Amino acid sequence: MRIDILTVVPQLLESPFSASIMQRAQDKGHVEIHVHNIRDYSTNKHKNVDDYQYGGGAGMVLSIEPIAAIVEKLKAERTYDEFIFMTPDGELFEQAACNQLSLKQNLLILCGHYKGVDERIRQKYITKEISIGSYVLSGGELAAAVVVDAVVRLIPGVLNDETSALTDSFQDNLLSPPVYTRPPVFDGMAVPEVLLSGDFAKIEAWREEQALERTKQRRPDLLK
């Protein structure tokens, strides 16, 4: 997979992909992530990327031209399966969309900033608009990092244990059961005995029951 991300704050997208599973996925050749600074495509002598909004009102709007310039360049180089705009008024990001995106070859992601982006960019280019939750972030960058992380870990071969993405919370609409490691007793709290029993059928049944219980308690909406 190849992912191109367009932003006016590329620094925000450095560390999320430079460690752990995301770095390993790139090292192993499962994904290429390219972050582009929209400002590099400004033809204006002050390198401006935003402007006042028509009609007045507080907040700047990302201009069409620099974004169109980089989009046209990238689209001439390859075909993108989706061009995603990160915005609080997008579709709420859930595991199902995440699974679908993990099957794509080329993704292009535009991070919103300031008051947003000129509506005509959305009309002309964008194929999918994503929000990661009902709250407002300063920009789309952290949300883009969330989406990329959630998608890339699903690419076959990225996780060591091939089954572990399938047993994630949400893949079966259930939250994960509790997990334990050593020591067997901490501050008087013992690890559930079944986990020490060596009886894998019993352990699996216990995990399913715990997952169901946790989901009923915390996210009953998932069970509907």
Binding residues vs ligand 6GU (CB under 6 A): 86-88, 90, 112, 130-133, 135-137, 139-140, 143
Minimal distance in Å, beta carbon 98 to ligand 6GU? 14
Rounded distance between C-alpha atoms, residue 79 and residue 2, angstroms: 11
Q: Which is nearer to ligand 6GU, 10 or 139 (CB)?
A: 139
Q: Which is nearer to ligand 6GU, 36 or 207 (CB)?
A: 36
Listed in sequence order, the residues at least 6 apart from 85 whose beta carbon sits closer than 8 Å to its beta carbon are 109, 110, 112, 117, 121, 122, 126, 128, 129, 130, 140
Residue 80's SS3 state is coil
Least distance in angstroms from the C-beta of 134 to ligand 6GU: 7
Q: How far apart are CB 13 and ligand 6GU at their closest, in Å? A: 13
Among 9, 33, 223, which Cα is nearest to 147's? 33
Give the single-character DSSP code of 221.
G
Query: In a 10 Å sphere around its CB, with 0-12 CB exposed, 13-18 middle and 19+ buried, how is residue 217 labelled?
Result: exposed
Query: Smallest distance from the beta carbon of 196 to ligand 6GU, in angstroms?
Result: 42
Decide whether 139 or 195 has the Cβ nearer to ligand 6GU: 139
Residue 159, SS3 per DSSP: coil
Contact present, 158 and 196 (Cβ < 8 Å): no
How far CA 23 is from CA of 100, 116, 148, 153, in Å, comes to 22, 30, 12, 11
Comparing CB distances to ligand 6GU, the nearer of 85 and 207 is 85
Running DSSP on this structure, what letter comes out for residue 43? -
Closest separation in Å from C-beta 126 to ligand 6GU: 12
CB of 139 to ligand 6GU, least distance (A): 5
**Cβ distance to ligand 6GU smaller for residue 112 or 177:** 112
Residue closer to ligand 6GU, measured from CB, 66 or 90? 90
By C-alpha distance, which of 127, 34, 134, 62 is closest to 94?
Answer: 134
